[in-house]
Amino acid sequence: MNELIQNFAVYVLPILFSITLHEAAHAYAAKYFGDSTAYMQGRMSLNPIRHIDPIGTLLIPIVLYFSGSPFLFGYAKPVPVDWGKLRNPKRDMAWVALAGPGANLFMALLWMLFALVLGALQVNEVFFYKMAQAGVVVNLVIFAFNLFPVPPLDGGRVMFSLLPNRLAYKYGRLEPYGFFIVLALLFLQVLKFWMVPVMTAASLVVKLLATPFTFLLS
C-alpha cells in the first residue's frame, strides 16, 4: 500500500498540470478563433480547480488505481465551445481541438527538460526524476488518447473538420455513443493498437525537440 501511495504522489502534479493546460489551451484557441464562451466562464485559466471534474478527474481514476485495474481512465470538465461562434466553424473546430493535445506535447517536452536540468544540477532525489518521467508519460498518453478519431474526443473533432460536409455530419452522429465506444475499446485492450504507435511517434518528436538542450546541459 505504501508503494501505491508513493507512486500516486509521483503522478498527482503531472496529471493536474496536464489536464489544466489541455483544457486552458482549448479555451484559448476557441477565443482566438472567435468564441469567448469558455473565457467568459473563467475556463481560460491555469487554475486546476476550474478544470477538475469531481467524478471524472478524481473519483474514477483513484478507484481504478487503488483497485489494481489493468487500465486507468478519467476526464476533466469539458471546456464549453459554441462552434457556431467560430469565424469558420468547420475549419476552426480542428484547430480548437488540436490545441489540447498540442499543449500536452508541449508539457511532455517541459517535463523532459526538467529531467535534463535535474541531471545537470546533479540532483540525487529519485522522487523528482520519477515525477519528470511520469510527466512525460502522462502527457504522451493524454496526447494519443485525445487524438483517437471518435467524437467527442479531439481526434473526432479533427476528423469531422476534415471530412466532406455530408460525411462529416453523418460521422458526427457517433458523438452520443463515443464515450461508450472508447470505454469498450479500452476495456477490450483494442485501443492500445492506436495508443502505442501514436505515443511512440510523439515521443520521438519530443526527444528531437529536446536534443539541443541535451547538448547544452550535458
User: Could you list the active site residues?
Assistant: 23
Residue with cell 508541449: 106
Rounded to the nearest 10 degrees, how much is the dihedral formed by the CA atoms of 43, 153, 108, 186?
130
Tell me if 108 sits within 8 A of 87, measured CB to CB.
no
Residue 122 gets the label, from left (phi > 0), alpha (psi -120 to 50) or beta, of left
Helices (H), the chain: 2-32, 37-40, 60-66, 89-120, 126-146, 154-162, 165-172, 175-187, 192-217
Cβ-Cβ contacts under 8 Å for 7 (sequence gap 6 or more):
none
C-alpha cell at 132: 519528470
Q: Which three cell numbers stand for residue 7?
A: 507512486
Q: Which three cell numbers stand for residue 181?
A: 465506444
